[in-house]
């Protein structure tokens, strides 16, 4: 027990200090305040959205369902965002051999690693669930047991998403450890599982209306979200028995999550670290290539071979495609309502939803951190900062610009928004990609995390990645909420002037960030001490 607690302390410290990686004590305070302000604003915006939704539900007598909606949103977000965190921390991590050589039980190592990932999962979960809980109290009243149940519920409910992550991690690594090209196959299998989860998320979303207006929850819901379902009953009825069921289920998810990882933990890690016999080669091709193409090849090979980095960065384009499909389906399924009203509802959700997905994890916000200790080699070579920066920027542009353009085009072709609006929507999406790409690199140059023991820490738990994500959420959620506030308060308010104004704002912001990058980027690069 003492061993586990010590390890948890070490991993927690590593996770939290890493998240603040690169932030000096001096500047740390202001960045922490910035983090807190953005986090609060995001939660407030979500709270406002939940508040409006609950008002609508309340008029039909379903206000209590806002709690379930908040919990499901939190679970889905924590599953999607931390999908690869567990495998990054548990499998193929650099500290595996060091830990394995110490007299520590395997169970203790796994539990400690599990809980350090859980901390991150809990952070995203809280951002969605806390506003929903406040809105729930507002409409359904505050009770002593309600406060206790929901506080414990908030802490334990993500065990479900964590269990899913553990299961997927285990499956991915069991399969890829037996394959020939382990590293690439690990990325490919993770991508396949990510797509499966994305499809499941889509299916769940498409049936959310039946959850929102249900007195009795559908069977699939009771099975899939069992712990959350029993928690909501316990909170609504005050019955301790249901709360006990929630506790048992959550603890079961935790135990199963740990047990799954324990199966073949050593064997899988050994297999993943073992490479096949090297082929002896006598003839090689020598060809001169431009340095930029070499750098681009290096960036892409890092991306494809670092599973956590790759999946995390591909999550944005994948979710953009999912969001586009959801919006198009939503547009078609709301056929009974007046067309103009549907367009007014669906268009901002598409524009700002996709904008959020596209900027959630640009490759640039971790590309310096991914260099790790190799960064000193790069810095000692006669390569200009311009070339290095361009190669890193190009990777994200190649991944995201076509997705942004095609999704925007598909949407405006199906939803008749009008030519000026269609043009502005596509421009907005493309500008968003450029903005987040440059912003990500700028922040990673300012807050690089070059010392890490597993790729999750570099790819996902750096201050630059978190700041980019929060700024992205802030830039995307605030205009969406603002638009709905304006449409409810101003008669005949349309989307065209709104998007026009925001394209202008986005253009100014993008130019400002590019200029900041041009003037500050090189200085920041030179300042990094690998």
Q: Tell me which residues touch another protein (CB under 8 A).
A: 183, 275-276, 278-282, 284, 286-291, 294, 297-298, 301-302, 304-305, 372-374, 376-377, 379-384, 526-527, 529-530
- Runs of H (alpha helix) within 65-143: 65-81, 85-90, 96-101, 106-140
Whole-angstrom Cα distance, residue 479 to residue 487?
12
Closer to another protein at the Cβ: 328 or 524?
524
Using CA atoms, how far residue 200 sits from 207, 248, 502, in Å, is 11, 25, 33
CA angle 438, 528, 310 (to 5 degrees): 50
Minimum distance between the CB of residue 501 and another protein, rounded to whole angstroms? 43
Minimum distance between the CB of residue 57 and another protein, rounded to whole angstroms? 50
Whole-angstrom Cα distance, residue 124 to residue 122?
6
CA atoms within 13 A on the CB side of 226: 14
CA angle 104, 161, 159 (to 5 degrees): 55
Minimum distance between the CB of residue 373 and another protein, rounded to whole angstroms? 4
Instruction: Go through the chain and tell me how many residues it has.
Output: 530
CB 110 within 8 A of CB 262: yes
Closer to another protein at the Cβ: 92 or 113?
92
Of 481, 347, 482, whose CA–CA distance to 417 is shortest?
347
Of 182, 162, 145, whose CA–CA distance to 74 is shortest?
162
Q: Compute φ and ψ for 244, nearest 5 degrees.
A: -65, -40
CA distance between the termini of the chain: 37
Closer to another protein at the Cβ: 353 or 372?
372
Minimum distance between the CB of residue 289 and another protein, rounded to whole angstroms? 5
Minimum distance between the CB of residue 447 and another protein, rounded to whole angstroms? 18
Closer to another protein at the Cβ: 2 or 278?
278
CB 510 within 8 A of CB 431: yes
Whole-angstrom Cα distance, residue 42 to residue 120?
17
Instruction: Give the Cβ contact number of residue 163 at 10 Å.
Output: 23
Minimum distance between the CB of residue 364 and another protein, rounded to whole angstroms? 18
Of 342, 396, 388, 397, whose CA–CA distance to 368 is shortest?
388
Minimum distance between the CB of residue 375 and another protein, rounded to whole angstroms? 9
Closer to another protein at the Cβ: 210 or 376?
376
Minimum distance between the CB of residue 97 and another protein, rounded to whole angstroms? 13
Closer to another protein at the Cβ: 126 or 307?
307
Closer to another protein at the Cβ: 226 or 305?
305
Whole-angstrom Cα distance, residue 362 to residue 316?
8
Which tokens is 187 given?
Answer: 């990325």
Minimum distance between the CB of residue 277 and another protein, rounded to whole angstroms? 9
Whole-angstrom Cα distance, residue 372 to residue 368?
8
Closer to another protein at the Cβ: 284 or 519?
284
Minimum distance between the CB of residue 238 and another protein, rounded to whole angstroms? 56
CB 425 within 8 A of CB 417: yes
Whole-angstrom Cα distance, residue 45 to residue 477?
7
Closer to another protein at the Cβ: 35 or 300?
300
Minimum distance between the CB of residue 43 and another protein, rounded to whole angstroms? 36
Minimum distance between the CB of residue 369 and another protein, rounded to whole angstroms? 14
Closer to another protein at the Cβ: 236 or 305?
305
238: left (phi > 0), else alpha (psi -120 to 50), else beta?
left
Closer to another protein at the Cβ: 134 or 271?
271
CB 243 within 8 A of CB 234: yes
Whole-angstrom Cα distance, residue 332 to residue 316?
24
Closer to another protein at the Cβ: 57 or 450?
450
DSSP secondary structure code for residue 374 in this structure? G
Closer to another protein at the Cβ: 2 or 289?
289
Minimum distance between the CB of residue 32 and another protein, rounded to whole angstroms? 20
């Amino acid at each position: 027990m003492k061993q586990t607690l010590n390890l948890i302390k070490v991993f927690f410290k590593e996770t939290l200090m890493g998240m603040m990686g690169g932030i000096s004590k001096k500047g740390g305070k202001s960045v922490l305040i910035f983090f807190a302000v953005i986090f609060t604003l995001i939660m407030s915006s979500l709270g406002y959205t939940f508040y409006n939704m609950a008002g609508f539900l309340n008029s039909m007598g379903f206000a209590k369902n806002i709690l379930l909606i908040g919990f499901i949103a939190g679970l889905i977000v924590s599953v999607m965002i931390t999908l690869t965190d567990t495998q990054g921390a548990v499998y193929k991590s650099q500290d595996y051999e060091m830990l394995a050589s110490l007299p520590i039980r395997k169970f203790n190592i796994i539990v400690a690693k599990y809980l350090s990932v859980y901390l991150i999962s809990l952070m995203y979960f809280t951002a969605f669930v806390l506003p929903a809980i406040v809105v729930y109290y507002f409409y359904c009243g505050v009770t002593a047991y309600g406060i206790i149940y929901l506080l414990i519920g908030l802490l334990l409910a993500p065990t479900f998403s964590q269990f899913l992550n553990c299961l997927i991690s285990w499956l991915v690594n069991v399969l890829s450890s037996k394959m020939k090209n382990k590293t690439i196959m690990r990325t490919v299998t993770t991508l396949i599982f990510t797509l499966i989860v994305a499809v499941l998320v889509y299916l769940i979303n498409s049936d959310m209306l039946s959850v929102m207006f249900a007195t009795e929850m559908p069977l699939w819901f009771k099975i899939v979200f069992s712990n959350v379902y029993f928690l909501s009953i316990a909170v609504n009825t005050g019955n301790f028995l249901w709360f006990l069921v929630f506790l048992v289920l959550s603890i079961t998810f935790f135990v199963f999550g740990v047990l799954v990882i324990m199966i073949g933990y050593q064997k899988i890690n050994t297999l993943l670290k073992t490479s096949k016999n090297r082929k002896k080669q006598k003839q090689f091709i020598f060809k001169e290539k431009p340095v930029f193409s070499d750098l681009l090849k290096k960036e892409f090979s890092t991306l494809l071979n670092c599973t956590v980095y790759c999946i995390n960065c591909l999550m944005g384009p994948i979710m953009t495609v999912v969001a586009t499909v959801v919006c198009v389906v939503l547009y078609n399924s709301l056929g009974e309502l007046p067309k103009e009203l549907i367009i007014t509802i669906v268009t901002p959700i598409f524009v700002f939803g996709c904008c959020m997905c596209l900027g959630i994890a640009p490759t640039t916000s971790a590309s310096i951190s991914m260099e790790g200790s190799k960064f000193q080699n790069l810095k000692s070579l006669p390569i200009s900062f311009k070339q290095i920066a361009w190669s890193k920027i190009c990777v994200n542009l190649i991944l995201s610009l076509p997705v942004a353009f095609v999704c925007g085009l598909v949407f405006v072709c199906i939803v008749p928004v009008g030519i000026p609006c269609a043009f502005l929507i596509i421009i907005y999406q493309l500008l968003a990609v450029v903005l987040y790409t440059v912003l990500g690199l700028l922040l990673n140059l300012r807050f690089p995390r070059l010392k890490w023991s597993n790729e999750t820490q570099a790819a996902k738990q750096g201050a630059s990645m978190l700041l980019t994500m929060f700024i992205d959420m802030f830039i995307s959620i605030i205009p969406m909420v603002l638009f709905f506030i304006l449409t409810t308060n101003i008669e005949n308010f349309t989307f065209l002037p709104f998007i026009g104004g925001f394209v202008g704002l986005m253009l100014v912001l993008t130019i400002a960030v590019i200029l900041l990058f041009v003037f500050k980027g090189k200085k920041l690069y030179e300042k990094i001490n690998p």
